[in-house]
Structure 1
Amino acid sequence: MDFGFTQEEEAFRKEIREFLRQELGPERKERTPLELFNPDFSRKLGEKGWLGVGWPKEYSGLGRPYTEQLIYGEEMLYHRAPAGAHILAQNMVGPTLIAVGSEEQKREFLPRILKGEIVFCLGYTEPNAGSDLANCQTTAVADGDDYIINGQKLFTSFAGQADYAWMTVRTDPDAPKKHRGLSMFIVDMKTPGITVGKLDT
């Protein structure tokens, strides 16, 4: 059995590599956190369709095989390409919405994610909840057609630049198991009441 890449896959690698060298220069270099956040670069990837390499065609993705997703990821990492402005939306938010999101959410967010137009930050970590999300203390309580969210998130990279937060909240405090009382919310970072502070580490 041949485990090598096909000619088409190697051509795809060459295309990505040439693009990255043209955009970023021929030399690999370390980049600061701010340099890794580059919305203009993300939009250029979106123009190529590469923010949806493995997304289904029915959602405007390229529908390419896992090997080409791997090639895309390898080249991005090898060239230390800026991914901060799109990686969460591309790899977590989008695929989750495709799997379980409402049709309204798909229409609203998927095209914009594919174009590199919107930035998400990750609202998981809290002062008393890190990798174990069962300790999440941020609450969301239904109020008519809306929810009132109260809590604090910590170590939220790019919160000051993000359009939306992909946020874990507790919607059922009486759930028999802590993990079963959690929900994911997409929170507009311009919502009144949200305060973003700077944490010196």
Structure 2
Amino acid sequence: MTACTVCHSDLYENELGHQACRPCTERADRNLAALAGPDGLYAKLSDSLHPGAGMAGPAVSGSRTAPLPVRLDPLSLAARGGVVTILQTWLVDWHEQLGYRHPRWEGDLQQQCDQVVGRLRVLLPWAAEAHGAFDEFAGEVSKIRFQCETATGSEKPPRRVPVTCICGHVLKITIDTAGVRCPACEAQYGHSEALQLPLAERRAA
């Protein structure tokens, strides 16, 4: 393996043979960490269940139909089968690949969320090195974080920065850009390569 399976940038010499580069591994770790704890995104889902909760203004209905007593998006994420179950499925898979015994779940869903996130973060370096579906895992954890941020009103759009491709075409990237392809010349940039491109304003100046 010579390229990261997540952002497709070249791996450094000490990462050769790994599934993911260090920046992508650290990004997955941050996404996991954002979910757990009393102030984490999973805990905030319960505060966003009622119509109008987590939104910028009061709930407004354009019809005469009585609103649902709870908002379905945060409910589906917070309930069994949502965030916690998805993460537990990944942990079971990792334990099976490592030959470990089946993980045990204790407490309510919040406690289970904290437990599974903690265990996944411990095993993350191994998964980034050896798990063949690490790119799928990283993508799913990123999606879960985005869904939780959207459901709780915590989403903050990342600032898009214009940079210049080697062909002169302007590309828009963010600090979390996994990779980008130039539509003009088809050049492919990984995460670190994209962040090293010159700012379009400076190039034009």
What is the TM-score when the length of structure 2 is the normalising length?
Answer: 0.20
Higher relative contact order (CA 8 A, sep 6+): 2
| Structure with greater helix percent | 2
